[in-house]
């Protein structure tokens, strides 16, 4: 199976969609890392390197958007959602401007950069701002669709991308991406795992393994965290009875919180969760970090087996 990072999918999408749509791309001295470098070379008149000045970049993006432009503002997720939070909130979202904030290197599974650069609260920060929408694609194919969806969605959008190559699995001919509508990858009668980003593939692996044991596990790819697909959550609750969420994000404010809010509306509860349990990341290679923080198919399997007891 081919492997490619979602940040690479983002970079390829910017180039491939540039003839179809007109937009500007801003970066904060990280073009090679955020993969905007190819766009900068092919469309230099539509690219601006703002230097190590993320807050200034968001203000500039807001200014361009206020004149009618569509703008992508790219940097690491920790800087986009953290360092530039005030500008994203007050300059972009308060004015409901057409800026797409692209945060790469999201989550703990970015490796050796360590806790200072591992954004585990970015989805929480972004989804709590009025007017902001949040997309977290699960592979490089979905990243391209997410970019195009963001272009066609009026107003601010936060896109979260990962650093490392991950399996590309959204390759079916009938694959489609609809903003605000989850993709049901598998239906299950015992448990449904609702996942985002890298954890979607881990959920699929877990589902296939548990199928051999006679346990029916559904998998829902919640690529749009805000606005979240309430209907998909309701169906999962009714069809399987048990819901587990899976995310490379702090347990507070991310996918678990978003799904729990909806489940509570329907009078239900989430049975379990896979998330970063409210602690900072640390430097390490990706496989070791997955094990340390339980962000694995094996941990999903263990939790489901425990539920079935």
Stretch(es) of the chain classified as CATH 3.40.50.970: 3-167
Stretch(es) of the chain classified as CATH 3.40.50.920: 183-308
Kindly state the tokens that stand for 230: 């309430």
pLDDT (0 to 100) of residue 174:
87
Could you please state the CATH topology (level 3) that the domain comprising 3-167 is classified under: Rossmann fold (3.40.50)
Q: Identify whether the C-beta of residue 189 lies closer than 8 Å to the C-beta of residue 240.
A: yes
> pLDDT by residue (tens digit) across 120-153?
999 999 999 999 999 999 999 999 999 999 999 9
In Å, how far are 106, 112, 122, 211, 222 from 118, measured between CA atoms? 6, 9, 10, 34, 21
pLDDT (0 to 100) of residue 85:
98
pLDDT (0 to 100) of residue 284:
95
pLDDT (0 to 100) of residue 198:
96
Residues in the chain with pLDDT < 50? none
pLDDT (0 to 100) of residue 133:
98
Active site residue 54: yes
Given the residues 16, 19, 45, 54, the one annotated as active site: 54
pTM equals 0.97
pLDDT (0 to 100) of residue 241:
84
pLDDT (0 to 100) of residue 309:
86
CATH architecture of the domain with residue range 183-308? 3-Layer(aba) Sandwich (3.40)
> pLDDT by residue (tens digit) across 2-21?
999 999 999 999 999 999 99
């Amino acid at each position: 199976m081919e492997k490619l990072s979602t940040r690479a999918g983002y970079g390829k999408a910017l180039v491939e969609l540039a003839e179809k749509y007109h937009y500007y791309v801003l970066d904060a001295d990280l073009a090679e890392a955020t993969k905007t470098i190819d766009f900068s070379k092919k469309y230099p008149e539509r690219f601006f390197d703002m230097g190590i000045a993320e807050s200034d970049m968001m203000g500039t993006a807001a200014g361009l958007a206020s004149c009618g432009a569509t703008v992508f503002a790219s940097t690491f997720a920790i800087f986009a959602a953290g360092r530039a939070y005030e500008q994203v909130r007050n300059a972009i979202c308060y004015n409901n401007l057409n800026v797409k904030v692209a945060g790469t290197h999201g989550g703990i599974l970015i490796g050796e950069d360590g806790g200072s650069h591992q954004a585990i609260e970015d989805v929480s920060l972004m989804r709590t701002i009025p007017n902001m929408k949040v997309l977290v694609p699960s592979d490089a194919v979905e990243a391209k669709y997410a970019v195009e969806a963001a272009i066609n969605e009026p107003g601010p959008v936060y896109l979260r991308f990962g650093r490392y190559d991950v399996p590309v699995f959204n390759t079916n001919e009938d694959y489609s991406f609809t903003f605000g509508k989850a993709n049901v990858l598998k239906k299950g009668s015992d448990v449904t795992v609702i996942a985002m980003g890298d954890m979607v593939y881990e959920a699929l692996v877990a589902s296939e393994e548990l199928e051999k044991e006679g346990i029916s596990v559904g998998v829902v790819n919640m690529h749009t965290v805000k606005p979240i697909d309430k209907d998909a959550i309701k169906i999962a609750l009714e069809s399987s009875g048990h819901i587990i969420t899976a995310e490379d994000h702090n347990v507070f404010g991310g996918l678990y919180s978003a799904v729990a809010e909806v489940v509570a509306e329907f009078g239900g509860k989430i049975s379990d969760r896979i998330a970063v349990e409210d602690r900072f990341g640390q430097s390490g290679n990706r496989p070791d970090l997955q094990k340390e923080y339980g962000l694995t198919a094996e941990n999903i399997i263990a939790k489901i087996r425990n539920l079935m007891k």
